[in-house]
Structures are given as structure tokens and as C-alpha cells.
Amino acid sequence: MCLTNAAPPPHHMMMTLAQTKELFRRAEAVCFDVDSTVIKEEGIDELAKFCGVGDAVTEMTRKAMGGSVTFKTALTERLSIVRCSREQVNKLITDHPPQLTPGIRELVDRLHQRSVKVFLISGGFRCIVEHVATQLNIPLHHVYANRLKFYFNGEYAGFDESQPTAESGGKGKVISLLKEQYGFKTVVMIGDGATDLEACPPASAFIGFGGNVVRPQVKERCSWYVMSFGELLKELEKI
């Protein structure tokens, strides 16, 4: 009989619900995805709508989240349709500021009170994510996101392709970097999408978030899936 080496199940599936909860309770750092997790919307879709090309871009975001094209390809393609100017981005933030998901403010405050370091790791855009970080009292050097580039006249000039968040697997790269830089042993990633799930490992544990949008391929593959940040707050009260 020939024995084939089957791939071991992914790290986050081998972990029990109790183990994941335990790691969350004693995490030194908690990293949140931003679009559809910390905020209710997908930043790039909002930007596209604002620039009048909403439908085309929403469809591409769906494909990117489903994992059927590489992240960088999807980002390049979507941005080449949007081609937003600096002025449009600033106006979007002023006229339609990102909507925080209920309970996130309380959860981040509670983590900060417990001296847990909180990071935002996003495939979205730094200008929008910084606005969110400020509202949550998260220091801007704890923000990892993509940078849009503009010409001197403010026209769209592409994005910084050297950022780890511009790549598939970029969130995991950021977490590895944080572990190296700060010496964290326990880092928990929380998010709604496939790119968040894939960041574990190197993250010690992953918690799926379905409060804004439920992605079945994520829900099926994680040991702890929550529908609200209240569930995470409740867990911290057990300590």
C-alpha cells in the first residue's frame, strides 16, 4: 500500500474554540482587519461609488475576497478603473467618513486598558485607515495599509507596490514583522476575509468576524467565529 503525505490541516483548524479564546484573553497584540471588520463598508467600493464606477469595482472586490485572483492584480485593476484624485479621496473622507462597526470602540478601549497593543492591518488605503485609527486612539505607527500615489496636480499616480499589504499573504508578512520588532509571542488576528484567515500562522490565533458580512469560506475554516464585538468583550470580562 502506498502512503501519500497528506497536507496537515491548517493551524487555525487544529485549534479548539477553548484554545482560541484562551489565546485571545492573553494576547500581547491584537490585529484587526479594517474593511467590513472595524468599519461597516469596503473602502475601495465606497471610493469607487464616490467616483461613479461602483458596480464594476464591487464585482472585482468580490472576486478578490473569494481568492480567485491575486490581491495585487485585483487592486491594480480596481484602481485603474477608479483613478481617484487626491481631492476625491479627501472629499470622500469628509463627506462620507467610514462608519465604525458597533462595539469596536469599546473593544479597542478595553484592550488598551489591559495594555494590549492594537494594530490595524488593511489591504485598503492608508489615508482612510488613518482616519479610523485616530477615532479609535490607535497610534498611526500601528497602521499597516496601502498608500495611494498622486502626481503634484493631485491626479492618481498608482499605489506603492512595495508595501507588504499590496501582496497576497501581506497581512501574514506584517504579523511576522511585528513579532520580530516587538518580540510578541501571542498575536491574534481578527477579520472577515480570506486574507485575514491566511495570516494565521504567523498569527497565534484567528477569530472570524461576521458582523458586517459573512463569508462562508472563512466561517467554515475557523474555530471561533463571532457575529459581534460584544462577544469578544464578554470574553475579556472572564479574566
Residues forming the active site? 33, 35
Please give the grid coordinates belonging to residue 60.
472585482
* Spatial contact of 107 and 120, defined as CB atoms under 8 Å apart: no
Map grid coordinates 485571545 to a residue: 24
Separation CA 111–CA 118 (nearest Å): 7
User: Residue 49: CB partners within 8 Å, gap ≥ 6?
Assistant: none
Q: What sections of the chain are H helices per DSSP? A: 11-14, 17-25, 43-50, 54-66, 71-82, 86-95, 104-113, 126-135, 170-182, 194-197, 216-219, 229-237
